[in-house]
Amino acid sequence: MTGAAPRPGTYRRGLRFLLRRRATVARLALWSVLETGQTFLLGWALARALDEGFLAGRQDTGLLWLGVAVLGVAAGALGTAKVYGAVAGLVEPLRDLLVRRVVERGVRDGDGAAVSRLTQQVEIARDTFAGLIMISRSFVFTAAGALVGLFSLAPVLLLVVAPPLVAGVALFLATLRPLARGQETFLIADESVSARLAVVCAGLRDVTAAGAEEPTARAAGALVDREYRAARTLARWAVPRALALGIGAQVPLFLLLVTAPWTLDRGVTPGALVGALAYVGQSLAPALQSLVHGLGAGGSRLAVVLRRLTAETQRQEPPVREPYRPACDPAAPALRVSALTFAYGPGAAPVVDRLDLTVPRGGHLAVVGPSGIGKSTLAGLAAGLLVPGAGEIHVCGLPARSPQAAAARVLIPQEAYVFGGTLRDNLGYLRPDPVPDDELAAAAALIGLDALLARLGGLDAPLDPAALSAGERQLVALTRAYLSPAPLALLDEATCHLDPAAEERAERAFAARPGGTLVVVAHRISSAHRADRVLVMDGPRTVSGDHEELLLRSPLYRDLAGAWGAPEPSSQPAFALGYPYRVDPVAGADLAGDGGHVVAHRAVGQVQPARDLGDRSALGREGQHP
Domain presence at residue 190: no
Closest by CA to 175, choosing from 221, 87, 235, is: 235
Range from 119-133, 345-359, 564-578 that averages highest in pLDDT: 345-359
Whether 395 contacts 382, CB under 8 Å: yes
Does one domain contain both 81 and 138? Answer: yes
56 vs 251 pLDDT, higher one:
251
Asked if pLDDT for residue 562 goes beyond 80, the answer is no
Q: Note whether 312 and 393 are same-domain residues.
A: no
- Where is mean pLDDT largest: 39-48, 204-213, 434-443? 434-443
Same domain? For 450 and 561 the reply is: no
What is the total count of domains within the chain? Answer: 3
pLDDT given for residue 7 in this prediction: 47
pLDDT value at position 476? 92
Mean pLDDT calculated for residue range 110-139: 67
- Residue 117: its pLDDT value, please? 58
Q: With cut-offs at 50, 70 and 90, classify the pLDDT of residue 109.
A: low
Q: Which residues contact 470 (CB under 8 A, 6 or more apart)?
A: 416, 497
Q: At what angle do helices 238-245 and 155-174 cross, to 10 degrees?
A: 170
Strands 488-492 and 409-412, by their bridges, are parallel
Residue 149 is assigned to a structural domain of this protein: yes
In a domain, 200, yes or no: no
Whether residue 595 contacts residue 610, with contact meaning beta carbons closer than 8 Å, is answered with yes
What is the pLDDT averaged over residues 162-180? 85
CATH label of the domain that carries residue 472 = 3.40.50.300
pLDDT score recorded for residue 612? 38
Residue 465: pLDDT above 70? yes
Residue 131 has pLDDT above 60, yes or no: yes
pLDDT band (50, 70, 90) for residue 211: low
Q: Residue 254 maps to which CATH number?
A: 1.20.1560.10
Residue 418, classified by CB atoms within 10 Å of its CB into exposed (0-12), middle (13-18) or buried (19+), is: buried
Domain assignment of residue 588, given as a range:
548-620
Q: Quickly state the pLDDT bin for 364 (edges 50, 70, 90).
A: very high
The whole-number pLDDT of residue 573 equals 41
pLDDT average, residue stretch 349-361: 88
Residues 408 and 557 in one domain: no
Q: What is the per-residue pLDDT across 249-274, written as a single tens digit (0 to 9) for each?
A: 889 989 989 999 998 888 888 888 88
Same domain, 418 and 287: no
Position 563 scores a pLDDT of 60
Q: Report yes or no on 606 lying in a domain.
A: yes
Say if residue 282 is in the same domain as residue 368: no
Q: State pLDDT tens for residues 310-341.
A: 554 443 333 333 334 455 677 788 899 998 88
Q: Is residue 327 part of a domain?
A: no
Mean of the per-residue pLDDT values of the chain = 76
Which pLDDT band, with edges at 50, 70 and 90, does 58 fall under? confident
Mean pLDDT of 438-444: 90
Does 12 map to a domain? yes
> Is the pTM here over 0.85, yes or no?
no
**What pLDDT score was predicted for residue 77?**
76
Same domain (yes/no): 369, 509: yes
Task: Return the pLDDT at 446.
Answer: 92
Q: What is the mean pLDDT of residues 348-372?
A: 87
- Domain end call among 264, 284, 316: 316
pLDDT digits (tens, 9 = 90+) for 295-312: 766 665 666 666 656 554
Angle at CA 131, nearest 5°, toward 130 and 137? 90
Q: Which residue has the higher pLDDT, 325 or 491?
A: 491
Residues 260 and 388 in one domain: no
Q: Which residues pair with 365 in a beta bridge?
A: 519, 533
Ranking 14-28, 394-408, 489-503, 581-595 by mean pLDDT, the lowest is: 581-595
Residues 450-457 have a mean pLDDT of 88
pLDDT tens per residue across span 181-201: 777 787 778 777 877 777 778
CB < 8 Å & 24+ apart, contacts of 141-145: 141/32, 141/33, 141/35, 141/36, 141/39, 142/36, 142/39, 142/283, 142/284, 142/287, 143/284, 143/287, 143/288, 144/36, 145/36, 145/37, 145/39, 145/40, 145/283
According to the model, what pLDDT value does residue 313 have? 42
Instruction: Determine, yes or no, domain membership for 64.
Output: yes
- Please give the pLDDT value at position 206: 60
Q: Do 303 and 350 have their domain in common?
A: no
Is 369 a domain residue? Answer: yes
Distance CA 155, CA 569 (A): 107
DSSP structural state of residue 299: I
